[in-house]
Chains A and B, each alone.
Chain A
Amino acid sequence: MAMAIDTALPVGRPLRLRLDRDELIKRGLMLVIALYLLVALAAPLAIMLSKSFSTYSFDLAKFEFQLSDKDGNWGEPVTAAALNEKLNAVPPTKLATNSDGRLQATSFFPDFSFRSPVKYKIRGTTSDATYLVGLNPQSGTEWQEFTSNDFRRVMLRPSRALGLENYTAYFSTPTLFRSIENSVFIALVSTIITVGLAFGFAYALNRSCMRFKDAFKLVAMVPILVPSLLPGIALIYLFGNQGLLKDLLMGTSIYGPLGIVVGSIFFAFPHAMIIISTALAISDQRHYEAAESLRASRWRTFWTVTIPGARYGLISAAFVVFTLVITDFGLPKVIGGQYNVLAVDIYKQVIGQQNFEMGAVVSVILLVPAIAAFIVDRMVTKKQVALLSARSVPYQPKPNRGFDTLCLAWCSLIAVFILGIMATSQFAALVKLWPYDLSLSLKHFAFDRMDGGGWGSYYNSIRLAALTAVIGTVIIFVGAYMVEKTDGFRSGRTAFQFLAMLPMAVPGMVLGLAYIFFFNDPSNPLNAIYGTMTILVVCTITHFYTVGHLTALTALKQIDQEFEPVAASLKQPFYKLFARVTVPVCLPAILDISIYIFVNAMTTVSAVVFLYSKDTTLASVAVLNMDDAGDVAPAAAMAMMIFYTNAIARLIHLLLSRVLIKRTQAWRMR
């Protein structure tokens, strides 16, 4: 028998590997990218969270005044609180304010006249009491003296306190908290319908022998290429106040839940379809043969084999659609009418009412369902992977005339819906004056005559998309490589992985608002990038980080884990292996990441709507603004420009992939 030599592990510290240059470079790179994610994601979100708990009010006990008579004899000092108690000049409700609040010091002196020879003094009773003289912030307990004329310009500033007041205010305002119900309702209905439609579509693609499968696949992908505003605009053209098909609705208004749901189905459909189609594609032919040999009916087979096999796909699709719909801003903005949803509330609070704290509260509330959906989706996706590795014989559909015709009808119906929306938008962009003059013209493409930044917006968008695609792909791929192919430094890698997954759970509106809080703070050294193209690039990369990261991880996981040890044993630096092997082998995935980011940067509205400036207007935001200003046809035209651009980008991506793969992936051919 083995002799268990009962010597214990000698005391002492575990040995540590001496770091070589390779390892130092790797850790340095990982640190840089982690720092990027901290600055571009974690810090803004943290500031936003703290803002949502910040309340501002004028603390009148903190200010003290002294007043002189005409001859310059000073009276007794008196606090603003005491004055207010006597005069009731500022009612208590007016004392609550936001971070920008100002209160004129003269409010406490009903007899004030700027021509009077009377002089005033002010000081704080505590050192943190601040007030403005003109635009200069002052604070401290030193008396400052003013003439009447100057005293007009003295403004008291509120003090900040932490508390739940913003949340209490939110939940005691029915117009605000009803949005939660609305958002959840819209998201639930859209999810059920979209997943149902997408399942039928994916089922037909995978399990029937119907014709035109490739064409249907192509059509199903179209909505990814357009901003979510586009279906809204098209639906208004069809069913709006002057819509051609308005009568079909029999009095129901398209503005509101109906429009949001139909539009959401349009833009969420491809996402659900891809996920479910993948789930159906990995099913095992042998299960069906077993079912057939047991003489199970088609119906029974469907419920006992098909649905259980695809259940993870269905659950995952449902959560993805739910998150997409509940966090979408563009569509309800365009077609929501008076029907309030969370994402639009953030916009209204911030842009409309300049109430940043309340915007932060709504953001935090919107984060809850998004994060919950994200967590469930991650759990389910992990199980799906396990299913994938056990796959065996792929399913081969057999022709069945009745069933194939049914499938064809189902897919055609959906294709007509998608193409109908696209055609309407295209038609609206070209028609002179809907619905009165239906002759064609290009005048709506003269964007320079409209609000929204004109053609400049379009070129800005292309610049943003190109910059984000290139820089984002580099950052994401290098980051994923560091997570996947570095030994040791385990805690650092886990933290990094968490940061990389986080963006998926953060709605664009929330990210955008968090950026305002973080970057629009004069005391932040990064304040300089506020209002520039840089902040748009940073924000967009961060917004779409997770999907790219996951794509890169999947590709990297397929590479042999032993490459790094082999290269090290051959005394070659890791970057040589990276450049000569890792990148070429992962090239298809790298191209996928870049086109994904490009297309999304072209279509996104939510995050950037808070961050663009006069010089960095974007095409997607221009669609929103032109629609807002009533220029709906030019809005449709600009949305179509985004579509054309993305379609061309995809085409270039396809050709480039073919060429590059032919050149660099020759080894794949046997």
Chain B
Amino acid sequence: MRHETLAGQPRIPTEVSAMTAASLNVKPAYLKIANVWKAFGDFHALKDISLDISEGEFVCFLGPSGCGKTTLLRAIAGLDLQTRGSIQQGGRDVSTLPPSQRDYGIVFQSYALFPNLTIARNIAFGLENTKRPRAEIEARVTELLKLVGLPEQGNKYPAQLSGGQQQRIALARAIAISPGLLLLDEPLSALDAKVRTHLRHEIKELQRKLGVTTIMVTHDQEEALSMADRIVVMNHGVIEQIGTPTEIYRHPATLFVADFIGEANKFEARASNNAVGIGAASFHCEPHDYDDGTPVIAAIRPEDIIPHASGSLANGAAANTIDVTISEMEFLGSFWRTRLHGHALGNETLIADFSINAARRLSLVPGGELTVELPAERLLIYPRGA
């Protein structure tokens, strides 16, 4: 299915496809989204989206605002019906079912806790009307409060809790009815950084414990990388790439993904046999299918660039190295960010991140010279002008 969405883009390293396919085939799909479109007049917010999610998986929809990730989530929830396409959940076609007849719990960025009900009544909201004895409901509420780490808080009102605590209550309320699917719509965006990191971990832990299939929408790549089993990167209403966090980061399928997740140096380049030419230099790279002389974009992440002491590699004989001058160094706490210039690169600037140790070992200073290596397997090649 990956090949469907990326049709017309055959130059994906084959091993990545194989990995994705393998990870997909582990379990049968719990949620099957097929050819979903969403049109607002002439504007298409979702374009032919197809995606399978396995039972118990934690999937993140990641992308810039307006990419369609929330629209897709709301279609799955039945809140904004898709214009075309089908959605199956647990073997049941839910495409046109109203929210109340689907099987999910949802948590919003705004928490959406009922302000006039106590925490306990909020959590119990979905348990009432189910012919459960009162004692059982109380027990379940107590259990959930403990589960989200807020025991003894049941009699407070939402306004008396902090944002992070409120979001945990919202989570408890959503999972109280033991839904088959948990939908999280930017659940951490309204919280401050520290609480966010903490809650990130807790949500992931809880999800693992309950084994509930979970979809989280986020625009925060760090959140997606640290929490998701698989990430669905979206842009302009299409899926750019689906993969595990490491796949997405190490082998971005498109330039957009390389750029959006992490950072990347981008150079206009020309393809040649198993190599690319950037400026006057030529670099080896993984085998590709481009004809010689095809204009391409070559990209490399700043942290993938390996520093060597200037002249330590005899006559630049070692493959994929160039001599550069450090024009700027910026201290970013755990590493140095440097801006490098070299004859071979023409006017292009190369941004490289070096560890504190490497910088000390090589005595890097602004204006200093060094040799950097652009490892062949870390060079990413994308078509130009697409």
Contact among A16, A22, A568, A664 with B81 in the assembled complex (CB-CB below 8 Å): A16
**In the assembly, what is the distance between CA of A566 and CA of B117, in Å?**
14
Shortest Cβ distance from residue B101 to the other chain A in the assembled complex, whole angstroms: 6
Contacts A5-B7, A667-B157; A565 near B99 (Cβ below 8 A): yes
Contact among A15, A585, A667 with B83 in the assembled complex (CB-CB below 8 Å): A15
Q: Which residue of A lies closest to B121 (CB)?
A: A580
- In the complex, per-residue mask of A557-580: 1 if CB is within 8 Å of any chain B CB, else 0: 000101101111111110010001
Shortest Cβ distance from residue B173 to the other chain A in the assembled complex, whole angstroms: 7
Shortest Cβ distance from residue A637 to the other chain B in the assembled complex, whole angstroms: 45
**In the assembly, what is the distance between CA of A3 and CA of B125, in Å?**
45
Contacts A3-B386, A9-B83, A581-B114; A19 near B105 (Cβ below 8 A): no
**In the assembly, what is the distance between CA of A572 and CA of B82, in Å?**
23
Q: Is there a chain B Cβ closer than 8 Å to A338's Cβ?
A: no
User: For A7, what are the chain B residues with a Cβ–Cβ distance below 8 Å?
Assistant: 47-48
Shortest Cβ distance from residue A142 to the other chain B in the assembled complex, whole angstroms: 62
User: For B210, what are the chain A residues with a Cβ–Cβ distance below 8 Å?
Assistant: none
Q: Is there a chain A Cβ closer than 8 Å to B25's Cβ?
A: no
Contact among A4, A560, A584, A664 with B236 in the assembled complex (CB-CB below 8 Å): A4
- Contact: B96 with A9, CB < 8 Å? no
Contact among A14, A15, A571 with B100 in the assembled complex (CB-CB below 8 Å): A571
Q: Which residue of A lies closest to B118 (CB)?
A: A667
- Contact: B235 with A2, CB < 8 Å? yes
- Contact: B39 with A571, CB < 8 Å? no
- In the complex, per-residue mask of B84-96: 1 if CB is within 8 Å of any chain A CB, else 0: 1000000000011
Contact among A12, A569, A585 with B105 in the assembled complex (CB-CB below 8 Å): A569
- Contact: A568 with B98, CB < 8 Å? yes
- Contact: A3 with B254, CB < 8 Å? yes
Q: Is there a chain B Cβ closer than 8 Å to A94's Cβ?
A: no
- Contact: A667 with B112, CB < 8 Å? no
Contacts A569-B104, A570-B105; A3 near B157 (Cβ below 8 A): no
User: For B116, what are the chain A residues with a Cβ–Cβ distance below 8 Å?
Assistant: 581, 584-585, 664-665, 667
User: For B110, what are the chain A residues with a Cβ–Cβ distance below 8 Å?
Assistant: 560, 562
Q: Which residue of A lies closest to B95 (CB)?
A: A15
User: For B256, what are the chain A residues with a Cβ–Cβ distance below 8 Å?
Assistant: 1-2
Q: Is there a chain A Cβ closer than 8 Å to B160's Cβ?
A: yes
Contacts A1-B386, A7-B47, A666-B157; A15 near B84 (Cβ below 8 A): yes
Q: Is there a chain B Cβ closer than 8 Å to A249's Cβ?
A: no
Contacting B at CB under 8 A, from A619-670, are 664-668, 670
**In the assembly, what is the distance between CA of A23 and CA of B97, in Å?**
12
- Contact: A568 with B99, CB < 8 Å? yes
User: For A18, what are the chain B residues with a Cβ–Cβ distance below 8 Å?
Assistant: 96-98, 101
User: For A20, what are the chain B residues with a Cβ–Cβ distance below 8 Å?
Assistant: 98, 100-101
Shortest Cβ distance from residue A578 to the other chain B in the assembled complex, whole angstroms: 12
Contacts A9-B37, A10-B84, A571-B177; A1 near B157 (Cβ below 8 A): no
- Contact: B6 with A3, CB < 8 Å? yes
User: For A9, what are the chain B residues with a Cβ–Cβ distance below 8 Å?
Assistant: 37, 39, 44, 83-84
Contacting A at CB under 8 A, from B94-131, are 95-102, 104-106, 108, 110, 112, 114-117, 125-126, 128-129
Q: Is there a chain B Cβ closer than 8 Å to A17's Cβ?
A: yes
Contact among B8, B37, B125, B386 with A10 in the assembled complex (CB-CB below 8 Å): B37
Number of interface residues of A (CB under 8 A): 42
User: For B354, what are the chain A residues with a Cβ–Cβ distance below 8 Å?
Assistant: none
Shortest Cβ distance from residue A136 to the other chain B in the assembled complex, whole angstroms: 58
Shortest Cβ distance from residue B313 to the other chain A in the assembled complex, whole angstroms: 34
A/B pair count, beta carbons within 8 Å? 141
- Contact: B236 with A567, CB < 8 Å? no
- Contact: A569 with B77, CB < 8 Å? yes
- Contact: B83 with A567, CB < 8 Å? no
User: For B255, what are the chain A residues with a Cβ–Cβ distance below 8 Å?
Assistant: 1
- Contact: A2 with B39, CB < 8 Å? no
Contact among B7, B8, B77, B386 with A565 in the assembled complex (CB-CB below 8 Å): B77
User: For A580, what are the chain B residues with a Cβ–Cβ distance below 8 Å?
Assistant: 114, 117
User: For B236, what are the chain A residues with a Cβ–Cβ distance below 8 Å?
Assistant: 2, 4
**In the assembly, what is the distance between CA of A519 and CA of B122, in Å?**
49
- Contact: A5 with B254, CB < 8 Å? no
- Contact: A5 with B238, CB < 8 Å? yes
**In the assembly, what is the distance between CA of A19 and CA of B116, in Å?**
29
User: For A15, what are the chain B residues with a Cβ–Cβ distance below 8 Å?
Assistant: 81-84, 95-96
User: For A666, what are the chain B residues with a Cβ–Cβ distance below 8 Å?
Assistant: 157
Contacts A581-B116, A585-B116, A665-B116; A5 near B8 (Cβ below 8 A): yes
Contacting A at CB under 8 A, from B144-161, are 157-160
**In the assembly, what is the distance between CA of A182 and CA of B105, in Å?**
65
User: For B240, what are the chain A residues with a Cβ–Cβ distance below 8 Å?
Assistant: 2
Q: Is there a chain A Cβ closer than 8 Å to B207's Cβ?
A: no
Contact among B78, B128, B157 with A17 in the assembled complex (CB-CB below 8 Å): B78
User: For B99, what are the chain A residues with a Cβ–Cβ distance below 8 Å?
Assistant: 565, 568-569
Q: Is there a chain A Cβ closer than 8 Å to B9's Cβ?
A: yes
User: For B95, what are the chain A residues with a Cβ–Cβ distance below 8 Å?
Assistant: 15
**In the assembly, what is the distance between CA of A2 and CA of B8, in Å?**
11
Q: Is there a chain A Cβ closer than 8 Å to B375's Cβ?
A: no
Q: Which residue of A lies closest to B101 (CB)?
A: A20
Query: Which B residues contact A (CB, under 8 angstroms)?
Result: 5-9, 35, 37, 39, 44, 47-48, 77-79, 81-84, 95-102, 104-106, 108, 110, 112, 114-117, 125-126, 128-129, 157-160, 173-174, 176-177, 179, 235-236, 238, 240, 254-256, 382-383, 385-386
Instruction: Give me 13 A-to-B residue pairs in the complex whose CB atoms sit less than 8 angstroms apart, sorted by A's number.
Output: A1-B255, A2-B254, A2-B386, A3-B238, A12-B84, A14-B83, A15-B83, A15-B84, A562-B112, A566-B174, A571-B129, A571-B177, A573-B100
Taking A15-B84, A668-B159 as known contacts, 13 extra A-B pairs with beta carbons closer than 8 A to each other, sorted by chain A number, are A1-B255, A3-B9, A3-B238, A5-B238, A9-B44, A17-B81, A22-B100, A562-B110, A563-B114, A565-B77, A565-B112, A569-B100, A571-B100
List the 4 closest A-B pairs by CB distance, nearest first: A570-B126, A562-B112, A568-B99, A667-B157
